[in-house]
Amino acid sequence: MSEETPKPDATPEVKPAEAKPAAPPPPPPVTYPRSAGVTMAAAPKASLSRFLGDAFGLFKGMNVTMRYFRKPSRIVTREYPENRGTLKMSERFRGQVVMPHDEKNEHTCTACTLCEKACPNGSISILTTKNLASKRVLGAFVYRLSSCTLCNLCIEACPFDAIRMGHGFEMATFTRDPLDLILNKTEGR
C-alpha cells in the first residue's frame, strides 16, 4: 500500500461500502528493520552491589574535577589577545609567505619562477623587468594570500632561500584587497 503514490482519482463512494460489513482486522504491529544477526552480550545484571559500584564510579569521576579544583597547576589557560606580546610561535610555524630583506633593503630573489611553478594554487606571480644592464630581474613578487593554502611548497622550491614562512597568523581582513601583496620592497638587481 505504501508503495503506491497517492491516487488523485480515489473516489470517496467506494470506501464506506467496503468498510461497513465487518470490523477491520487490527493492523499488524509496526516493525522496523534492524541489523540482522546481532547477538548481544547480556547487559550486566542489576544488583545492589553493582548499583553501589556505579554510584561510587560517578563520585570518582566527580573527584577528577575536584582534583583540578584543589590543584589548579594542571589547568591550562591562555589569555590569547592579552598575551600577544609574549606569544611565540614555534620556529617552523607556517604563517603567510614573506620575503626577508637585509639591512640594505635587498632580497635574494632572482626571478627564477620556480616558486610560481611549484605553487598548486597559482598564488604567486613573478613579474619581471629589465635592469640597466638589460638583465631580467624581479619586478614584483605578487603574492595572493587569499588563495594561498600555506602549503610550504614554494619555500621548498626556492633555490635561493629568498622567501620563507612568516610567523603572523592574524590575517583576517574586512575586504579582499589587502590580501593581494607585493612582497619585494625593491626591484631585483
Q: Which residues bind ligand SF4 (CB under 6 A)?
A: 97, 109-115, 118-121, 123-124, 126, 148-154, 157-158, 160, 162-163
> Considering the complex, what minimum distance in angstroms separates the CB of residue 107 from ligand SF4?
8
For the segment 10-69, give every residue that binds another protein (CB under 8 A): 10, 27, 30, 32-38, 40-41, 43, 54-55, 57-58, 60-61, 63-65
Separation CA 74–CA 87 (nearest Å): 20
Q: Which is nearer to another protein, 27 or 81 (CB)?
A: 27
Q: Which is nearer to another protein, 156 or 161 (CB)?
A: 156
Q: Which does 38 bind (CB under 5 to 8 A by kind): another protein, ligand SF4, none?
A: another protein
> Which residues fall within 8 angstroms of residue 166, CB to CB, at 6 or more apart?
95, 96, 97, 98
Do the Cβ atoms of 162 and 106 come closer than 8 Å? Answer: no
From residue 91, give the alpha-carbon distance in Å to each of 72, 94, 103, 166, 167: 30, 9, 22, 10, 8
Separation CA 184–CA 160 (nearest Å): 15
> Considering the complex, what minimum distance in angstroms separates the CB of residue 106 from another protein?
26
Separation CA 36–CA 101 (nearest Å): 68
Phi, psi of 143 (to 5 degrees): -130, 120
For the segment 92-121, give every residue that binds another protein (CB under 8 A): 92-94, 118, 120
Sites of contact with another protein (CB under 8 A): 1-3, 6-8, 10, 27, 30, 32-38, 40-41, 43, 54-55, 57-58, 60-61, 63-65, 76, 89-94, 118, 120, 149-153, 156, 165
